[in-house]
Each structure stands twice: as structure tokens, then as C-alpha cells.
Amino acid sequence: MMTLARAIDVSRSYGSVLALDHVDLDVHAGELVGLLGPNGAGKSTLVNLLTGVRRPTGGRVELCGGDPRDPATRKVLGVTPQETGLPSALRVGEVVDFVRAHYPDPLGRDELLDRFGLGDLVRRQTGGLSGGQKRRVAVALAFVGRPRIVFLDEPTTGLDVAARHALWNGVRQFHAEGGTVVLTSHYLEEVEALASRVVVVGEGRVLADDSVAAVRGLVAIRRVSLTTAVPVPDLPGVVGTERDGDRTHLLTPDADRLVRDLVSGDVPFRDLEVRPTSLEEAFLTLTAA
Ligand code: ADP
């Protein structure tokens, strides 16, 4: 299998901040890889190194066997960084045509906009679009040049459900046709919806590189809250306990099992509540365990 993007023992510092700490990563042709981690984990830094926006302070990166800082190598690349600016006076169709003009064999304008559910916006000036619409246009532009590999940094932040699904459909179609995608997200749900392989990044290191199911077990921690007058006994699978007055919060990757154990253990409780934790909370729990 051909390796399209590779990080070999890569480190990157910003002054005294070590954003990446000896990271290795191989992305093969045809993969859709999710980089998952809380804010500040180093995901954008890794994408910026692999796409040639920044240089590593240690180690080496390769894109399609070449240096991502070399313009010839970057021809095969499509990118949507976290922040993008669109020329506000141009219409969406004009922006797409402008970007198309840079590539030898671009996608058709209408085909691209249809793929991302943006056909209705073709005549709208980008300055008048909502934040979510701008974001979708910016993501779609990464696909104009029929790239071999696309990097999307937090592609759906700020999008509503319908817009997020429209965007996912465009990404899935590209992948189904053999395209390679690396996307960053701090939402497990987004990575689950798109990727089969998940690379968990935390504090500048790769903490896990596995299937979605395996990573879900690692980071999908639930908070089970209950009111009880008696101390809750130690139960299997509980990775953290917090007390707040007569309320007890138990953190666990398997809330169903915990609730069954509470009932079968005759623990008297009321006002049971199960809710997901944020990825940040899950990481705190994992690193403290
Ligand atoms: P993520 O994308 O996972 O949120 P980043 O790669 O943006 O993480 O950031 C990783 C770390 O590097 C953070 O501590 C962040 O503050 C720091 N960092 C990122 N970019 C810069 C920069 N241009 N200057 C200084 N520090 C930075």
C-alpha cells in the first residue's frame, strides 16, 4: 500500500511550548483517517507540518514521497485550514472558477457545488454568506483540483446538523472514489461518522492508533450521576468518582453495565442521569487513571 503522508519522529516547538513530541504517522492511499484530540493536543500542528505550512523542529515529514514544502509535491494536495478567508465581493461560483483555474484537470463548478450541497449558493457573494456557508465553501474548495490527499482541519466546527451532513456526503464521495482524507476533530461523533481509523493525539503525542470501535472504548467516557445517602461501593469499570453534596458522579466507559451493577448491588439511588463527557474530561480521566 502506498504511503501518501508520513511523519517520522516529528517534533515541533513554538518557543517553550512543545506542540508535537516525537510523532510517527503513516497515511496510506485510500484511507480516511481521523485525528482526534482535545483542543491544544497538536492536531493542527501535525496537519500544518504534513501540508508544508510549517517546518518540523525535529524529524521529517513526507507527502507522496516528497517534501510538502515543494510546490511540485503540493499539486496533489487539497487543504482546508482551520481559518480561511474568501474574497467577500466575489460570488461563490467566481471563487470556485478562480481556484479551478490553478489546476490542470479540475472538477466542474456545478459538480463540485452539488457534491457539497452548495448548488443554491452559486450566485451569492461570499461576503453575504453565513459563517457555516462560508465554511462549507472553504471545505469544498479543497476538492477542486481532484487531489490525491485532502487535509481538513476541524471541517464542521460551527455547522448545524444539516450542513454537517451535506459536507460529510461530499467527503464520503471523494473517499469512495479512492481519495485519501485526513481530518481533525475534537468530536468523536464526527470521526465515527467518517473515518475507519482513528489516531488519538494528546499533549503532542500519539496516544492510540486504532479502529473507531477500539478508540470509542478508550475515550467515550460517560458520567453517571445519582443521589444516594450511602457511599457507592467500588464497581467494575468505574474510572473516576466525584462527590458533590449528596450527589455522586461516576465516570465509566460502560454506563449500561454500571447501572445494572448498581441495581443488582441494591444501591439505593434516585435521580439517575447518564450523559456523555467531553473529550477533554475523558482525557483528564484517562491520564489520571
Ligand atoms: P489542536 O489543533 O489539537 O487544538 P494545536 O496544534 O493548534 O492543537 O496546538 C498545540 C499546542 O501548540 C498548543 O499548546 C498551542 O497553544 C501551541 N501552538 C500552536 N500554534 C502555535 C503558534 N503559532 N505559536 C505558539 N504556540 C502555538
Tell me if 23 CB under 6 Å of ligand 1: no
| pLDDT confidence of residue 245 | 87
DSSP 88: T
Q: Give the three-class secondary structure for 34.
A: strand
Per-residue pLDDT of the chain (289 residues; tens, 9 = 90+): 799 999 999 999 999 999 999 999 999 999 999 999 888 999 999 999 999 999 999 999 999 999 999 999 998 999 998 887 899 999 999 999 999 999 999 999 999 999 999 999 999 999 999 988 999 999 999 999 999 999 999 998 888 888 999 999 999 999 999 999 999 998 888 888 899 899 999 899 998 899 888 887 777 889 999 999 888 889 999 988 988 988 999 999 899 999 999 999 999 999 999 998 776 677 766 665 4
**Nearest CA, atom 7, ligand 1:** 44
Tell me if 142 CB under 6 Å of ligand 1: no
What dihedral do alpha carbons 223, 227, 230, 235 form, nearest 10°?
Answer: -20
Please provide the distance, in angstroms rounded to a whole number, between the alpha carbons at the two ends of the chain.
37
From the CA of 10, how far away is ligand 1's center (Å)?
15
| pLDDT confidence of residue 240 | 87
The whole-model pTM stands at 0.85
**Nearest CA, atom 12, ligand 1:** 19
Tell me if 14 CB under 6 Å of ligand 1: yes
**Nearest CA, atom 25, ligand 1:** 14
| pLDDT confidence of residue 286 | 62
Tell me if 43 CB under 6 Å of ligand 1: yes
| pLDDT confidence of residue 246 | 87
Tell me if 44 CB under 6 Å of ligand 1: yes
For residue 30, give Cα distances in angstroms to 33, 99, 175. 10, 24, 7
Q: What is the CATH number of domain 3-210?
A: 3.40.50.300
DSSP letters along 45-72, please? HHHHHHTTSS--SEEEEEETTB-TTSHH
Which ligand 1 atom is the nearest neighbour of the CA of 15?
A: 25
Q: Are 49 and 58 in contact (CB under 8 A)?
A: no
From the CA of 265, how far away is ligand 1's center (Å)?
46
User: Domain limits of the chain?
Assistant: 3-210, 219-288
| pLDDT confidence of residue 289 | 47
Tell me if 38 CB under 6 Å of ligand 1: no
From the CA of 261, how far away is ligand 1's center (Å)?
42
Tell me if 45 CB under 6 Å of ligand 1: yes
From the CA of 18, how far away is ligand 1's center (Å)?
9
| pLDDT confidence of residue 235 | 92
Which ligand 1 atom is the nearest neighbour of the CA of 39?
A: 4
Ligand 1 pocket: which of 11, 21, 44, 191 to mutate (most atoms within 8 A of CB):
44
| pLDDT confidence of residue 67 | 96
Q: Give the three-class secondary structure for 117.
A: coil
Question: In this structure, what are the phi and psi dihedrals at residue 198, rounded to the nearest 5 degrees?
Answer: -120, 130
Q: Which residues pair with 209 in a beta bridge?
A: 199
| Correct CATH for 219-288 of 1.10.1740, 3.40.1350, 2.60.40, 3.30.70 | 3.30.70
**Nearest CA, atom 5, ligand 1:** 42
**Nearest CA, atom 21, ligand 1:** 14
Alpha carbons 111 and 105: distance in angstroms, whole number: 13
Q: Are 164 and 127 in contact (CB under 8 A)?
A: no
